[in-house]
Amino acid sequence: MTILVLMPTYNEVGVLESSIEQVLAQQLDLEILVIDDNSPDGTGVLAEDLSLKHSQVSVLHRNQKQGLGKAYIAGFEWAIEQGFDFVVQMDADGSHRPNDLEKLTREAHSNRLVIGSRWTPGGKVENWPWFRRVISKAGNFYARKMLSSIVQDMTAGFRCYPTALLQAFPLEKVQAHGYGFQVEMTLLCQDRGVEIVEVPIIFVERVKGKSKMTYGIVFEAFWLCTKWGFRR
């Protein structure tokens, strides 16, 4: 079983090295692909340096910032071309704990989406302000109701997909660019009868750098969930 961890980056020069070192320290049989959107702070250059230091690290450079969804799709396509069996989505800012990787990969299966869930029993978040909790819980509640889903954390970004499954998806038709991408991919799996398993994780608020969450990203996810819900 070959596993590729996808790490999209934009201005993460202060945290990337630590995140990569911690993932590799787990001593799991995996590789890492950094997908950098032409970060002006030198993240792409650092990623190249780390790829020279660690044979398990590769870098995919994109010309401009095009959104989280496009970055992950580029990573999916790279993983498929390189023949990996599974891909793991993982934030580069340290919010997703590397020691939870074993939980996700242990549950990996050819027709299963594994979600590292903050809101399933046993999962939690640390160091989040109250308004982030409210936005996340309310957003997940709304998405579940609109899309008739039982998934507790539809917006979760810590996930494991089999590449065979991704090959069967119309990735070129995915609409969401921001965090709505996670909801859209969950919906694609749900509508195709894919088994969805949630494993509890601890999500830790980043200690360095700036969050990429904006009101525009929240609105995009809300609008798309509403549109998809009324079309069902």
CATH number of the domain within which 117 lies: 3.90.550.10
Scan for tokens 């692909």, then name that residue: 33
| 198 neighbors 122 (Cβ within 8 angstroms) | no
The structural domain count of the chain equals: 1
The mean pLDDT value for 183-193 works out to 94
Domain that holds residue 106: 3-231
Are 228 and 146 in contact, with CB atoms under 8 Å apart? yes
Q: For 22-43, how does the pLDDT look when each residue is reduced to its tens digit (9 = 90+)?
A: 999 998 999 999 999 999 999 9
Query: pLDDT of 82-141, one tens digit each?
Result: 999 999 999 999 999 999 999 999 999 989 999 999 999 999 999 888 888 988 899 899
Residues 110, 92: Cα–Cα separation, whole Å: 26
* Nearest Cα residue to 95 out of 18, 177, 37: 18
Taking the C-alpha atoms of residue 116 and residue 100, their distance in angstroms, rounded to an integer, is 8
Q: In the predicted model, is pLDDT for residue 212 greater than 60?
A: no
Residue 195 has pLDDT above 80, yes or no: yes
b/e map 168-182, b = 16+ CB within 10 Å:
ebebeebebbbbbbb
**Of 8, 135, 1, nearest to 60 (Cα)?**
8
Question: Would the pLDDT of 208 be above 70?
Answer: no
pTM of the model: 0.93
